[in-house]
A and B are shown apart, each in its own frame.
Chain A
Amino acid sequence: MQRNHPVGEGRRVAVTGIGAVCGLGWGAASLWEGLRAGRPGISSFHRFDHSRHRTHLAAEAGEPPESFVRSCPGWRRLSITDRFALFAAREAVERAGLALPLGEEAEAGVYFGSSTGGMYESELFFERFLRDRRGRLSSLIPQQVNAPGDAVARHLGSTGPVATFSSACASGALALGAALDAVRSGEVELAVAGGSDSLCQLTYAGFNALRSVDEVPCRPFRAGRAGMSFGEGAAVLVLEPLERALARGAEPLAMLAGAGASCDAHHMTAPDPSGEGAAAALEAALADAGLPPEAVGFVNVHGTGTPLNDAAEWQALKKVFGERAGELPLIATKALIGHLLGCSGAIEAVATVLCLHHGELHPVARAGEADPELPVNLVLDEPLPVPGGRAAVSTSLAFGGSNAALVFSPWGDQAA
Chain B
Amino acid sequence: MSEPVLITGLGTLGAWGGGSERLAAALAAGAPLAREVDRSAGYHLPHGARRACLVPPGELAGWLSPGEARRMSPPSKLAVTAARMALRCAGIASEGGDEAGTAVVIATAFGPSSNTETLLKQILDEGPEAASPSLFMESVANAPAAQIAIALKARGASVTVCEREAGPLIALGTGAAEIAAGRAGRVLAGAVDEMTPLLHALLDRFGALAREGEDGEELARPFGRRRNGFLAGEGGTVVVLESAASLAARGGRALARVLARGSAFDPTAPPSGWGHGHKALARSLRRTLERAGLKPGDVGLVVSGASGAREGDRLEAEVLRAVWEGGPLPPVAAPKAVMGEYGGGHLGAAVLAAAGSSLGPTPGFAEEDPELGITPLDGPLREAPSVVLATSLAAGGAAAWVVLGRG
Contacts and interface: CB of A to CB of B under 8 A. Distances in A.
Interface of A: 1-5, 50, 52-54, 77, 106, 110, 115, 123, 126-127, 129-131, 133, 137, 140-142, 144-147, 150-151, 153-154, 156-168, 170, 174, 178, 181, 185, 201-202, 204-211, 261-269, 277, 280, 398-402, 404
Contact of B263 (A115, A129, A154, A161): A161
Contact of B262 (A131, A161, A209, A263): A161
Interface centre among A204, A209, A265 (most CB of B within 10 A): A265
A130 B101 CA distance: 44
Contacts of B128: 50, 52-54, 201, 204-205, 208
A261 B162 CA distance: 18
Interface residues of B, number: 77
7 contacts: A52-B128, A115-B140, A147-B396, A150-B398, A159-B277, A159-B284, A280-B155
B336 to A, nearest CB: 20
A157 B398 CA distance: 13
Contacts of A2: 101, 183-184
Nearest to B156: A1
Contacts of B111: 145, 166
Given A1-B183, A206-B119, A163 B267 contact: no
Contacts, number: 232
Contact of B137 (A147, A160, A263, A399): A399
A401 B267 contact: no
B160 A160 contact: no
Given A1-B183, A400-B142, A277 B177 contact: no
Contact of B162 (A144, A205, A264, A280): A144
B129 A52 contact: yes
Contact of B131 (A141, A146, A206, A267): A206
B140 A202 contact: no
B136 A162 contact: no
Interface in B333-357: none
Given A174-B157, A265-B155, 18 more contacts: A4-B183, A52-B128, A54-B129, A140-B202, A142-B271, A146-B164, A150-B271, A154-B397, A159-B284, A160-B265, A165-B160, A201-B124, A206-B133, A261-B103, A263-B104, A263-B146, A269-B133, A269-B137
B82 to A, nearest CB: 17
Interface string B166-208: 0000100010011001111000000000000000001001100
B123 interface: yes
Interface string B130-169: 0111001111111101110110111111111111100000
Contacts of A209: 131-133, 136
B163 A146 contact: yes
A280 B103 CA distance: 13
Given A201-B123, A399-B137, A262 B155 contact: yes
Interface string B227-250: 000000000000000000000000
A205 B131 contact: yes
B150 A401 contact: yes
